[in-house]
């Protein structure tokens, strides 16, 4: 089975486009609009991509707690942050911080570097 990718991103269209591109490359990708929704998903994942926008609205301590709970739920998953170009990246257990502006293709390439697919799995899932 292709590695599972969890995308936590409030922007529906961006999340949907990124998920579609990852699936086109052979990744099993699921999306959530926020950390609470992500915690409700039971899919096994090897990488979690969190958009900084998912960490910007609400109580900072609660969001930090939810992020750490999500990471504890998937302890072996790499955790990447997609951060704004000028915003300070929030504290968290991130292995890598990706900075905007980034295209969907740039994000997919960053994910491929962290969780590479074997050649035999490089085909669309759908």
What residues contact 56, with CB distance under 8 A and at least 6 apart? none
The pLDDT, as a whole number, for residue 18 is 97
Give the pLDDT of residue 2. 66
pLDDT score for 93: 85
Write the pLDDT tens digit of every residue in 64-108.
Answer: 899 999 999 999 999 999 998 776 777 778 889 999 899 999 999
The tens digit of pLDDT for each residue in 14-45 reads 999 999 999 999 999 999 999 999 999 888 89
Q: Would you give the end-to-end CA distance of the chain in angstroms?
A: 13
Name the fold adopted by 4-121.
Answer: Rossmann fold (3.40.50)
- pLDDT at 90 (0 to 100): 74
Q: Cα–Cα distance between 64 and 81 in angstroms, integer?
A: 13
Task: Output the CA angle 96-53-10, nearest 5 degrees.
Answer: 110
pLDDT of residue 3: 75
Report the chain's mean pLDDT, rounded to a whole number. 89
Residue 126: pLDDT band with limits 50, 70, 90: low
């Amino acid at each position: 089975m292709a590695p599972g990718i969890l995308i936590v991103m409030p922007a529906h269209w961006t999340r949907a486009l990124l998920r579609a591109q990852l699936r086109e490359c052979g990744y099993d990708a699921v999306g959530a609009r926020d950390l609470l929704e992500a915690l409700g998903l039971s899919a096994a994942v090897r990488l979690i991509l969190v958009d900084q926008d998912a960490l910007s609205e609400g109580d900072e301590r609660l969001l930090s707690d939810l992020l750490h709970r999500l990471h504890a739920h998937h302890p072996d998953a790499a955790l990447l942050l997609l951060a704004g170009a000028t915003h300070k990246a929030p504290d968290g257990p991130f292995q890598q911080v990706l900075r905007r502006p980034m295209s969907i293709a740039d994000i997919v390439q960053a994910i491929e570097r962290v969780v590479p697919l074997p050649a035999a799995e490089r085909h669309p899932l759908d």
